[in-house]
Amino acid sequence: MVIAVLALLAATLLPALAKSRPNSLAFQCLNNNRQLCAAWRMYADDNRDRIVYSSDDGTGSSNPQNQYAWTATHLDFSAQNRANWDPALDIQQRPLWPYTGKNASIYKCPADPSYVLVNGVPTPRVRSMSMNLYLGGLAGTSSFLASAANYRIFLKTTELTAPGPAKTFVFLDERWDLINWGNFFTDMSGYPNQSASYEFNQDYPGFIHNRGCSFSFGDGRAEIHQWLDARTTPPAGAYFGSVEASPRNPDIAWLQDHATRPR
């Protein structure tokens, strides 16, 4: 009788325990995102309301504005690119680092499986979080992004009047097979009412949390947002062109609504 009861309990509890692991990783990712967003806000509070840039512009030290990018890592899968696996190379040199409790783990979703082989040893990459491109742009500008030129680049938190802090996302966990620069580019083509023109332009959001992705927002809150359209979550490792048309995709409408507004 005792053995039968134990077997029944095991059959009941094991599926629940199996489900709790992904849920706990999603919660941890959400908490990491929230902490990173808090660091973003504290930096602005200490710097006359100016926010860090969503990424560098690719020109390195030749542009002094690049030092104010929240990260200048350009991720790939090469062990020769130390930015992939060594937080001391870039993350620890960047403006947000003193505000993060010097905790490199919050830059990464714990469910991110990506790694590089360093001297034959699988070594996790340092980052899976990306910042909304329209927060600071590429070293303060979107000048060479033609499809973003007509949309607002926010340089101060007080400029977040539309969509407003509660509706403007700051960080998200980007999908591990496509993440590269520090920014996440929401293509605004078709905004607000030409949905036939919707498209993804190089960047796709993460989907590892039950087809969902963690977001933080300008008011400090964070949430897991679930995607509705299968075109937003193609299989990991699938080939992507630079631009992928995705007409009438409700997920793109959501991203656009939470990214920026026309100038």
pTM score = 0.90
Q: Rounded to whole angstroms, how far apart are CA atoms 243 and 145?
A: 13
Q: What is the gyration radius of the CA atoms in the chain, in angstroms?
A: 20
pLDDT digits (tens, 9 = 90+) for 124-150: 999 999 999 999 999 998 766 777 889
pLDDT for position 143: 64
pLDDT for position 141: 87
pLDDT for position 140: 93
Q: Rounded to whole angstroms, how far apart are CA atoms 201 and 188?
A: 10
- CA angle centred on 115, ends 111 and 121, rounded to 5°: 130
Phi, psi of 40 (to 5 degrees): -60, -45
Q: Which helix (H) or strand (E) holds 256?
A: helix 250-257
- In DSSP notation, 88-120 reads TTTGGGSTTGGGTTS-GGGGS-TT---EEEETT
pLDDT for position 201: 92
pLDDT for position 22: 54
Q: Which two tokens stand for residue 245?
A: 């048309």
pLDDT for position 14: 34
Per the CB < 8 A criterion, the answer to whether 97 and 36 are in contact is no
Phi, psi of 163 (to 5 degrees): -70, -10
How many other β-carbons are positioned within 10 Å of the β-carbon of residue 86?
16
Residue with tokens 């993460």: 206
pLDDT for position 144: 63
pLDDT for position 163: 97
Q: Rounded to whole angstroms, how far apart are CA atoms 203 and 189?
A: 14
Q: Which two tokens stand for residue 33?
A: 């995102």
pLDDT for position 5: 34
Report in angstroms the alpha-carbon separations of 202 from 101, 130, 240, 244.
Answer: 32, 13, 7, 8
Q: Is the dihedral of CA 191, 195, 200, 205 positive or negative?
A: positive
Q: What is the dihedral of CA 229, 235, 238, 243, to 10 degrees?
A: 20
Q: Rounded to whole angstroms, how far apart are CA atoms 39 and 45?
A: 10
Q: Which residues contact 238 (CB under 8 A, 6 or more apart)?
A: none
How many other β-carbons are positioned within 10 Å of the β-carbon of residue 28?
16
- The low-confidence residues of the chain, meaning pLDDT below 50, are 1-21
